[in-house]
Amino acid sequence: MEEKVKFEMEFVIHASPQLLYQYISTPSGLSEWFADNVNSRGEFFTFIWDDSEEKAKLLSKKSGERIKFRWINDEDEDASYYFEIKIQVDEITKDVSIIVTDFTEEDELEEAKMLWENQISDLKQVLGSA
């Protein structure tokens, strides 16, 4: 099995951290931009796109700050793979950013980055911050 590579991306978002947190941490918020539909049962979230469905386990979350998931299909593999969406506020400028941390196969890195760019672009549209 090929080793996955970790990557981080930062996106400036014009929205309050409190509002942003609702969109990254709740099924209704996530279904506005991340997937067509999102359901949760306890610590397990189901993300639905068109005809596909992926399950993820909520690993951790910190109110107003970050949320971290692991795709269930990665559980049989290395448990150190996850994806995290973190809200960061610049101390001086008060600019709000989202930091995405994810893992992917090396030959799929550009594709994975493009996917996140599209997802965050959708989030900005929902927030009216595009």
- pLDDT band for 74, please (50, 70, 90 cuts): low
How far is residue 49's CA from residue 27's CA, in Å, rounded to a whole number?
A: 14
Q: Is residue 87 part of a domain?
A: yes
- CA 6, distance to chain mean position in Å, is 14
How far is residue 86's CA from residue 69's CA, in Å, rounded to a whole number?
A: 12
Q: Is residue 76 part of a domain?
A: yes
Residues in the chain: 130
Q: Which residue has the tokens 């386990």?
A: 57
Q: Is residue 110 part of a domain?
A: yes
Coil, helix or strand for 98? strand
Q: Is residue 129 part of a domain?
A: no
Closest CA to 59 of 74, 48, 44: 44
pLDDT in tens, 12-37: 999 999 999 999 999 999 999 999 99
How many domains would you assign to the chain? 1
Helix axes 109-127, 17-25, angle to 10 degrees: 120
Check which CATH number belongs to the domain holding 41 and give it.
Answer: 3.30.530.20
- pLDDT band for 80, please (50, 70, 90 cuts): confident
Q: Is residue 130 part of a domain?
A: no
Q: Is residue 61 part of a domain?
A: yes
Q: Is residue 24 part of a domain?
A: yes
- List all residues 6 or more positions away from 17 whose beta carbon is below 8 Å from its beta carbon: 64, 65, 87, 89, 96
- List all residues 6 or more positions away from 52 whose beta carbon is below 8 Å from its beta carbon: none
Task: Please give the residue range of the domain that contains residue 109.
Answer: 4-124
Residue 28: enclosing H or E segment and its boundaries?
helix 27-33
The pLDDT of residue 77 is: 57
The predicted model scores a pTM of 0.91
